[in-house]
Structure 1
Amino acid sequence: MADHHQRIHPVADAEAAPPPPAPAPATTPLVPPGSSRSEKGSPMQQHPPLQRTRAAVPSTPPKRSCFCKCLCWTLALLVLILIILAATAGIIYLVFKPKLPNYSVDSLRISDLRLNFDMSLYARFDVKITANNPNKKIGIYYEKGGRLSVWYTNTQLCEGSLPRFYQGHQNKTVLDVSLTGQAPAGSTLMAALQEQQQTGSIPLDLKVYAPVAVKLGRLKLRKVKILGECLLVVDSLTANNLISIKASNCKFKLKL
């Protein structure tokens, strides 16, 4: 009898538990913007909202700001005033065309020139000058305090006062001025004058100081000063004689 071999195949244990399924890949649940989940065990931890903080900006002190504004306004006002003054001066110049008055020395006479007992030099000159106002629309008021003086080198020989008067438009006025004075170190000065007289050319310096007020139309402006200087060359200083003026060079300027 043939042997029958029975193959026994292992049979899986029916009671054994099936292998666990492979874990699914972890996914993060999508949370709509603005939604919050407060449930415990939520896969997404809720963070507290961030608070925006403003950075501290350094502020300018109020006093400094006010000072800067005042300074700017002051500078702007000064610039505006300068512009107005410049425009006014330009208009006045164009309308009135101002010109300086001028003077000429017509004659010079020495009434007295001698030494005193104290050895000072006494001099008395009579000068005739012509004041010319060349302006067509400007009048000139000659105020109190005007002076006319005669100098030799750096020594004043004599001095006299200019009269007060009003000079109209394009007017020429002849003034007779008497000048007197005493100079120290008269003997030395007299010797120098006599030596200079031998040459026939004696340099003298006639100086003019005239405070005036200008009249524009009906408007009288503030005082200004006219300063003049005439370099003269005369032939002699003999008393009681009419002196010949050989040369004359006059210059004038205005001082505010």
Structure 2
Amino acid sequence: MPRETRRALSSSSFASLRFSSIVAAALRFPSVVWGLGFPLISTHRECECILRLEDRNRFLREMAEEKPTSKPVLQKPPGYRDPAAAAPATPRPPPRRQPLPPAFRQPGKPLPRQRYRRSRRCSCCRICYWASAVALVAAAILAVVAGLAYLWFQPRLPSFRLESLNATQLRVAVRPDGTFLDVVTKVGILASNPNGRIVVEYGDGKARMSVADDDGDVAVGEAAIAGFEQGRRNRTVVRFAAAAKGVAVDEVAGARIRAGFRSKEVRFVVEVRTKVGIRVGGKNTGKVPIWVGCGPVSLKQGLSGGTPPKCRFYLFRWINLH
């Protein structure tokens, strides 16, 4: 083939290759091709450089879009307060409203009174102080009145003695089913009122008789006592009878009681429960419970007629008055 022919073919193939590259670049990146201008793209190598540069720029843009732009912001908990932040300013109370001058005030309306806050502690202290003072004054008045009343009436407690004691019947029966005791006793108690201006009043009571034994007391009957009134400087004997039948006792205790009854050495215990009150100047006071205990006293002492033994006198069962 002649040299001119080969040159024509090579120039035509190069031109076609150049044209196809330009067309491909224009179809893929039209903005770049038309932005740079068609005359600037003169060779196939320049077109490939442009394509590689555009691919690199696109890759960098995609990587930049995938990378997070900023860190996630954490939510602050409720009530969180930044220590570095300045303390909030305390709001000032609203200014007091000044009273209007007389020219602008409504006629007949007085000026508002200022209210003063009193401390609760001061109020409680004052209440306690006045209550203590009143209590002390009342106690002093009562003490003076009680002292004057004591000097005027000169009160003394009543006294009790066992006037008489007799066992009219005492029988110990030994049976196959046990030992039984039948007892009938009569008792007289002397009550004395030594007061010259006070009347003593006794309510209804109950008397209880028992036989004292080494193994324990044995109850041998009860009796009711009617209430009565005892005048000034008066002595009254209260009599009652108690009976018991078929009281089961131990065989040994029954033998001791029977032997003591024969020798008059058997001992009895008398207990009386009643209520007592006083009357002064026609006014009665309330009655309080008392307990009178006499014994143990043997039949020999009760029947001797000598000085009667003194009885114990308790107020509310546990306060010993004699």
Which of the numbers 199, 217, 220 marks the counterpart of 2:281?
217
Q: How does 1:188-227 map to 2 (within 5 A)?
A: 188-197=252-261, 200-227=264-291
Runs of 5+ unmatched residues, structure 1: 1-59, 237-241
Larger Rg: 2
Residue 150 (structure 1) shift? 2.6
CA distance in 2, matches of 1:230, 1:107: 11
| Contact 2:293-2:313 at 8 Å conserved across structures | no
Change (3 A) 1:79 1:123: farther
Q: Secondary structure at the match of 1:190?
A: helix
Change (3 A) 1:130 1:253: closer
RMSD value, Cα: 3.4
Change (3 A) 1:73 1:200: same
Residue 89 (structure 1) shift? 2.1
Change (3 A) 1:68 1:176: same
Write out per-residue CA displacement over residues 55-114 of structure 1, whole angstroms, 9 at most, x where no aligned residue: xxxxx9833333333333333333333323322222221111112222232322224434
TM-score w.r.t. length of structure 2: 0.50
* Counterpart amino acid of residue 210 in structure 1: T
Identity of aligned residues (%): 24
| Contact 2:161-2:311 at 8 Å conserved across structures | no
Write out per-residue CA displacement over residues 133-159 of structure 1, whole angstroms, 9 at most, x where no aligned residue: 121111111112x22223333523332
Higher relative contact order (CA closer than 8 Å, sequence separation 6+)? 1
Write out per-residue CA displacement over residues 153-212 of structure 1, whole angstroms, 9 at most, x where no aligned residue: 352333222211111111222222122347553545423323545765333322233311
TM-score w.r.t. length of structure 1: 0.60
Q: Which residue of 2 aligns with 1:147?
A: 206
CA distance in 1, matches of 2:188, 2:286: 28
Which of the numbers 129, 135, 147 marks the counterpart of 2:195?
135
Q: Secondary structure at the match of 1:250?
A: coil
The total of aligned residue pairs comes to 192
Change (3 A) 1:195 1:78: farther
Change (3 A) 1:208 1:218: same
Say whether 1:159 aligns with 2:222.
yes
Q: Which residue of 2 aligns with 1:86?
A: 143
Structure with the larger helix share: 2
Q: Secondary structure at the match of 1:99?
A: coil
Q: Secondary structure at the match of 1:152?
A: strand
Q: How does 1:53-68 map to 2 (within 5 A)?
A: 62-68=119-125
Structure with the larger strand share: 1
Say whether 1:185 aligns with 2:249.
yes
